[in-house]
Structure 1
Amino acid sequence: MIVAPVLLATVAVVLALSVRVLVRFASAADLFDLAASIERGGESPDTDYLADFAKRNGVDRASEDCGDAFTRSRVTVSLAMVEAAAETAAAEAARQIALRSIEERLRCDPLDGNAWLRYAIMESRGEGRRLARVLDDLSMSYKTAPSEGWIVEPRLAFATELVLSGVAAFEMDYLDDLKRFAAFEPGNRVADAFVETSRPVRARLRAIIDKLPDERKRWIIAQIDALGVDYWEQ
């Protein structure tokens, strides 16, 4: 019978793939654990620890592995390296590692809007940054992740920096993010953002809040007033 050999061959392939996945997971267990800790908001290790970890776990070297958890974890750890190395001699080396990790992630998943955002941020931190490249990367983030709240919020923070520096090429996308933020994020977070941001951004946010349903609008304004800021002050 043909069925039995085919079945055995199928089982063998499945087992081989399962073993491969298990081996890969075991070899990257430390990477997954550290990335998970960072993503949960745990205290990020210092520069020396992260540099040593990167060497021991291959984060500082190129990889062809397109496993979803693997590429995500490499990006998370490499970004932590950048933050830990800020304003030190290791800053540029850490940024280059992060850029490569993000490039690998995007090669494997070009629809990852968060990766496009992180790539834009890393590009913007380089000496002699190419603004057109930064804006292209940011545009890809808008296209691939138009409404995910966990991406919208950090994207707003980065885009606001660009807007306040005089860059206006992506105003409509920026306003769309502001609208989503005002409409769907908890009202107290919208109020906090209004209070903490500059007057030009307040003006944009005020115009959006004014068009929200009355109950939500009143609640947000009350929260802003409670924080000691006059919502109506121009």
Structure 2
Amino acid sequence: MSRFWIEPEWPVPPGVRAASTLRRGGVSIGPYRSLNLGAHVGDEPSRVSENRHRLREALSLPAEPVWLNQVHGKHVIRADVSTYRSADAAFTCQTGIVCTVMTADCLPVLLCSKEGDRVAAVHAGWKGLAAGVIEAAVEALEGDDLLAWLGPAIGPDAFEVGHEVRETFVRKRAAFAAAFCQTENAKWLADLYHLARIVLNDVGISAIYGGGLCTFGNADDFFSYRRDRVTGRMATLIWRE
């Protein structure tokens, strides 16, 4: 773990780089402390701009990250050609394009072909998972020869949901039932990591890395919308050099 980002541990080919930021190393204050990268959450724009500048400098990014207007759906854009930004996943086959998603409890998923010629970043909250955003991103990458890395998200002990959320998943795939555990107050605890692994396995991806970093339970390192409501956003990025 570097100063203010996590370097994924997964066997991607040389020339593919990835990172997932922590909430350290920035200039934002209050509930956005400190490396808030979200320009849509109420933080001072100049502070967000400085945080993004620090991110570019620290990671030696080849270009400005492709910042999406995430809508909790399944739309995927090709980051090197599309000017449309309302999407929840971005992919590229080109070098120098930084595919990026922002999260504060939702699950960021990175995808990379085993040859390193195709990469994608996916914003997979429960709505996106249920809608099929991972499947859409895999289809966009045109192949099942992929590696996946699961970034920091709200953990299975903290993500309480209602019956309707569980039913949304179980109606789609019976196997999803294994990712839910009932609580004493008749609610359900949902495991985003388990849900994502089921989907990835179903589309032929077994090389899955990461997982297990709970945003809700670690306020020093991670923003969490469920914990704080007013808060910042981390970024998870992947690019080809």
Answer whether TM exceeds 0.5 for this pair. Answer: no
Q: Normalised by the size of structure 2, how large is the TM-score?
A: 0.28
Q: Normalised by the size of structure 1, how large is the TM-score?
A: 0.28
Give the number of the structure with larger relative contact order, counting CA–CA contacts within 8 Å between residues 6 or more apart.
Answer: 2
Larger relative strand fraction? 2
Larger relative helix fraction? 1
Larger Rg computed on CA atoms: 1
